[in-house]
C-alpha cells in the first residue's frame, strides 16, 4: 500500500529534493526497506526521532511510546542543508599528522550567545 505512494512521491521530487516520512515503531523497519527499494540505500539521509506527546500513557500498554520515527531520503545527490562549516578557527601549530584542530572541550555545550563553527 505504501510502495505506490512513495514511488509516485519519488517521481514528483526534484533532483535535489528530500522526502520525510513519519512512522511509529511498529512498521519503521518495513518502511525503511520499502524506501531503500525505491530511493536506494545510498540515498538514505537519516532517521529522526519525533516526540509526539509529553505525557506517558502507561495505562494503554506495559511500555509507553511517546515518539515516532521520521525517515529522510533524498532523490539523488545530497545538497548540504544549513550553513557551511567555517574552518578558519582550525590550525595545526604543532604539526599534528592528523591535521588541523581547534582547542577546547568537545563536551562543553556552547551558550546561545557564542558563535561556534
Whole-number pLDDT of residue 39: 94
Domain-located, residue 41: yes
**Residue at 48 is within a domain:** yes
**Whole-structure pTM value:** 0.61
Q: Is residue 93 part of a domain?
A: no
Q: Is residue 110 part of a domain?
A: no
pLDDT for res 112? 54
CA-angle at 50, arms to 64 and 59, nearest 5°: 15
Q: Is residue 87 part of a domain?
A: no
User: Is residue 71 a contact partner of residue 12, using CB atoms and an 8 Å limit?
Assistant: no
Query: Would you call 30 helix, strand, or coil by DSSP?
Result: helix
Going residue by residue through the chain, which has 117 residues, state the pLDDT in tens, using 9 for 90 and above.
Answer: 889 999 999 999 988 889 999 998 888 999 999 999 999 999 999 999 988 777 666 656 666 677 889 999 998 866 566 677 788 888 888 998 988 888 877 666 665 555 544
Other Cβ atoms less than 10 A from the Cβ of 34: the count is 19
pLDDT for the residue 117:
47
Dist CA 74 CA 46 (whole Å): 10
Q: What is the pLDDT of residue 108?
A: 64
Q: Which residues span the domain enclosing 33?
A: 2-53+66-74
Domain count, the chain: 1
Number of H helices, E strands in the chain: 2, 3
**Residue 33 in domain:** yes
Within a domain: residue 107? no
Specify if 39 maps to a domain: yes
- Give the start-end residues of each E strand in 1-117: 18-23, 44-51, 67-74
Amino acid at each position: 500500500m505504501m510502495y505506490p505512494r512513495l514511488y509516485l512521491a519519488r517521481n514528483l521530487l526534484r533532483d535535489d529534493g528530500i522526502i520525510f516520512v513519519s512512522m511509529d515503531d511498529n512498521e519503521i523497519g518495513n518502511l525503511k526497506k520499502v524506501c531503500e527499494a525505491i530511493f536506494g540505500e545510498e540515498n538514505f539521509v537519516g532517521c529522526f526521532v519525533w516526540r509526539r506527546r509529553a505525557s506517558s500513557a502507561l495505562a494503554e500498554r506495559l511500555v509507553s511510546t511517546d515518539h515516532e520515527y521520521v525517515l529522510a531520503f533524498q532523490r539523488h545527490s545530497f545538497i548540504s542543508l544549513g550553513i557551511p562549516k567555517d574552518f578558519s578557527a582550525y590550525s595545526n601549530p604543532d604539526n599534528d599528522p592528523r591535521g588541523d584542530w581547534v582547542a577546547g572541550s568537545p563536551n562543553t555545550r556552547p551558550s546561545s550567545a557564542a558563535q561556534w563553527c
